[in-house]
Amino acid sequence: MVICISATINNNIVAGQNDTIHIPIVTANVALVIRISSTRDASVIYLGKRLQNDADYASIPINNGNNDYTGLLSSAYTPSGTRNLLEPAIQVIHADGNPSLDLKYVRHQQNTTNQPNGVLLTTIYLEDPVYPFQVNLNYKAYYDDNVIEQWTSIKHSETGVVRLEKYSSANLYFASAHSYYLTHFHGDWAQEMKPEQVQLTAGIKVLDTKLGTRADLFQAPSFLLSLNQPINHDDEDQGEILSGTLAWSGNYQLQFEIDPLHNLRLLAGINPYASEYSLVAEQEFITPSFLFTYSFSGLGTASRNWHRWARKYRIPQGENNRLTLLNNWEATYFDFNETILTSLMRDGKRLGVDLFLLDDGWFGNKYPRNNDQAGLGDWQENIKKLPHGIDYLTNTAEGIGIKFGIWLEPEMVNPKSELYENHLDWVIKVPNRPEYYFRNQLVLDLSNLAVQDFVYNTVDSMFTKHPMVAYVKWDCNSVIYNAYSTSNPHQSHLYIDYVRGLYNILNRLRNKYPTIPMMLCSGGGGRVDYGALQYFTEFWPSDNTDGLERVFIQWSYSFFFPAIASCNHVTTSGEQTLKFRTDVAMMGKLGYDLVVSQLDTDELLFSQQALQIYTRLKDTIWHGDLFRCVSPYRLGSDIASLIYVNENQDHAVWFTYLINNRYRAGSSRPIRLKGLDPTKNYRLQEINIYPGTDNSTIINVNKLSGDYLMMFGFDPMVHSQRTSVIIEFQLTNGVKTLTCFLNNISRYFLIVFYVLIFS
């Protein structure tokens, strides 16, 4: 269902007592309601399930009738320096040095003009009653997907420069719960997205990063907030959850403050750390977007809201296709030449992937890129490795019948490079101190327009000079140390201008190349956010490609990001079988990063068949709905299990993995499926079976109803001999026949065998 509201002004006002105005920002199920008081203060009076009658919002008592001394605790955008006592959303120093701000409602506007169908934009205009200083609060409600996007624009017409000390994107208020549980995701290289849940207590909990680039290395800008009860990984269908994320690829700050009334204030935005911003008159400072979805039926609904929204509105080509690929990084690292690459491309073709991706190490001559210590920034083919250049490779690929893609890390430079020698002024480094490196490299100053042009041209010329380049992997391996720009007149603008510079470049590239697939990579998942994902078709979750680790890492990303965007590559990393690793990689955008010629006959056959099967499954995995059935994060869980169901509910793909290798660990009982049509009958067939597997354990069941499968469930028989199982669901119309129901007998024998051995 979509709403139809034509471009109107003040059409959604709900009159309240004492000349108050209520502005409901609504989606199908969610309402965020801003009250304008008789003193023209804007407060969040409601955030939760949408009420049936908008007029009811007017009855909500502010702060449950409690006095907060200031009238500002629930402010929709808390100013500072006047009567505020808690964490502000905005802090400014006016041109005349006055450090105070008050914000009063002027007007608001709600419209659908220039918005896609089903999207309603609300803008609330606020102004300081004393200074010519304006703040506009913008809320975009994505009706069907229950996602709300919020950002702020700040402007003034004072004589002189106003210093912005803090400039949040969003300031929300929760007054309806007795307790709040925050799940955030932290980690490091190869350990991305480890969830941790804490109950919020009085005071402030801050999630932030100050890394500049590769900003999410230690902490992701995405979180889950559960009201009244902790998130229960046993049950994804229960609970009131706000799932939020900041669409910004640089320093961010998320603050969760339990106030003296035991309510929760949420402030989200760019990290003000070392980032005071000087704003000249009439210039507009636009914050990045804070995005959230709100679910009253648990984490599962929240994730599906994100997935649908991201595919429809955010990720380029989100509703279209992706390319399977063979990457050479883990196959060769820096050690390759034309002959090796040609044979890898042939292998890719033999395997059956769409594209060959040439990774790091192909460039640099004065300082050849033979390891990670040199060459970064010198984007010319290394003549020893590639004497005939990139065109030779793209032509070879074309002859073989495979597409060609290439790795770039255009924001970075090695000190051992011609770029560094010729353009030291383009490098972020502080004067009078020794350089300090992250992976032997430094970051280019994207706040400098000349550097933006250089980066843009690096990528653009890759496409113009080599039109057959069909894919780019854009890496970003370094954080910013010693932040300093030689060209930016305001050092404290650098962190912000850097990200804006990056987005400028990506915008220019996307305008020229709207459909080219690009992978967002940052030494693994150091930059996975919906700011960058406006420009990238997919992201690299982690350099950790161990199959078991990936179950957890991909699981965490799936709370926020759709499977179509998750690049999952089969490598030789880890102890698991090739089948396990392949099954795990199939839960997103399948790729490979191994030496195909080193696969034995069965391994090659299995992989070739897996790619063919994937062709049949990918539409459901990429564009269907995800239902997580058994979480690997559940205490004592032996398995992880999830299912993708297509929109018509006539096709589904169910993945189950053994994640515990203790004695007799396994699925052991039916798993209740989700997302199926209870009235439809399904045929369940186990797929992606390794050659030579004992046929007696293979599942092939004709006609089980969605109702049965969701209420009683089905045991995929995952155990130490079957560590991963994929079952495909298709509609069946025939009479109920079990052609070959689970071979419980073989399982029985296995158990008896164990008991005999160990007793």
We find the least distance from the C-beta atom of residue 521 to ligand DGJ, in angstroms, to be 5
- Minimum distance from residue 475 beta carbon to ligand DGJ (Å): 5
Beta strands in 157-213 (DSSP E): 162-174, 180-186, 194-199, 203-208
Give dist(CA 536, CA 474) in Å, integer.
Answer: 9
Helix (H) or strand (E) holding 150: strand 147-156
Minimum distance of ligand DGJ from residue 408's CB (angstroms): 10
Q: Phi and psi at residue 351, in whole multiples of 5°?
A: -65, -40
Q: Is the Cβ of residue 540 or residue 614 nearer to ligand DGJ in the bound state?
A: 540
Cβ 445 to ligand DGJ shortest distance, Å: 21
Nearest-CB residue to ligand DGJ? Answer: 360
**Hey, which residues does 731 pair with through a beta bridge?**
682
* CA angle (626 as vertex; 624, 628 as ends), nearest 5: 160
Least distance from ligand DGJ to the Cβ atom of residue 291, Å: 25
**Shortest approach of ligand DGJ to residue 427 CB, angstroms?**
19
Question: Among candidates 88, 93, 403, 124, which has minimal Cα distance to 278?
Answer: 93
Distance of closest approach, residue 348 Cβ to ligand DGJ, in angstroms: 17
List the beta strands (DSSP E) in 488-562.
518-520, 538-539
DSSP string for 379-426? -SB-TTT-TTHHHHHHHHHHHHT-EEEEEE-TTEE-SSSHHHHH-GGG
* Dihedral (CA of 422, 423, 428, 431) sign: positive
- CB 329 to ligand DGJ: min, Å: 5
In whole angstroms, the minimum distance from the beta carbon of 333 to ligand DGJ comes to: 8
Cβ closer to ligand DGJ: 525 or 716? 525
> How far is residue 550's CA from residue 582's CA, in Å, rounded to a whole number?
11
Cα four-point dihedral sign 99, 100, 106, 112: positive
693: CB partners within 8 A, 6+ apart:
none
The distance of closest approach from Cβ of residue 540 to ligand DGJ in the complex, given in angstroms and rounded to an integer, is: 6
- Choice between 347 and 543, CB closer to ligand DGJ: 543
Please state the closest distance from residue 523 (CB atom) to ligand DGJ, in A.
5
- When the beta carbons of 359 and 603 are compared against ligand DGJ, the nearer one is 359
Q: How far is the CB of 529 from ligand DGJ (least distance, A)?
A: 16
The residues, ordered by sequence, that sit 6+ positions from 518 with a Cβ below 8 Å of its Cβ are 316, 471, 472, 473, 474, 535, 536, 537, 538
C-beta of 374 vs 521, nearer to ligand DGJ: 521
Instruction: Give 442 or 617: the residue with its C-beta nearer to ligand DGJ.
Output: 442
Number of Cβ within 10 Å of residue 362's Cβ equals 24
Cα angle value 673/677/679 (rounded, 5°): 120
Nearer to ligand DGJ by C-beta: 217 or 299? 217
Residues that bind ligand DGJ (CB under 6 A): 329, 359-360, 407, 475, 477, 521, 523-524, 540, 543
CA atoms of 306 and 528, how far apart (whole Å):
14
Angle at 89 between CA 86 and CA 94, to 5 degrees: 105
Q: Cα 616 to the chain's mean position, in Å?
A: 26
CB of 251 to ligand DGJ, least distance (A): 21
Closer by beta carbon to ligand DGJ, 72 or else 521? 521
Of 144 and 360, nearer to ligand DGJ (C-beta) is: 360
**Tokens linked to 658:** 């053994």
Nearer to ligand DGJ, 521 or 570 (CB): 521
- Residue closer to ligand DGJ by CB (options 219, 477) is 477
* Residue 106 burial class via C-beta count within 10 angstroms: exposed 0-12, middle 13-18, buried 19 and up: middle
Nearer to ligand DGJ, 568 or 656 (CB): 568
The three-class DSSP label of residue 183 is: strand
The answer to whether residues 583 and 606 touch, using CB atoms and an 8 Å cutoff, is no
**Residues 6 or more apart from 489 whose CB is under 8 A from it?**
none
H runs (alpha helix) in 576-685? 578-585, 601-623
Which C-beta is closer to ligand DGJ: that of 268 or that of 393? 393
Helix, strand and coil percent figures for the chain, each rounded to 5 = 25, 30, 45
| Nearest CB to ligand DGJ, comparing residues 239 and 591 | 591
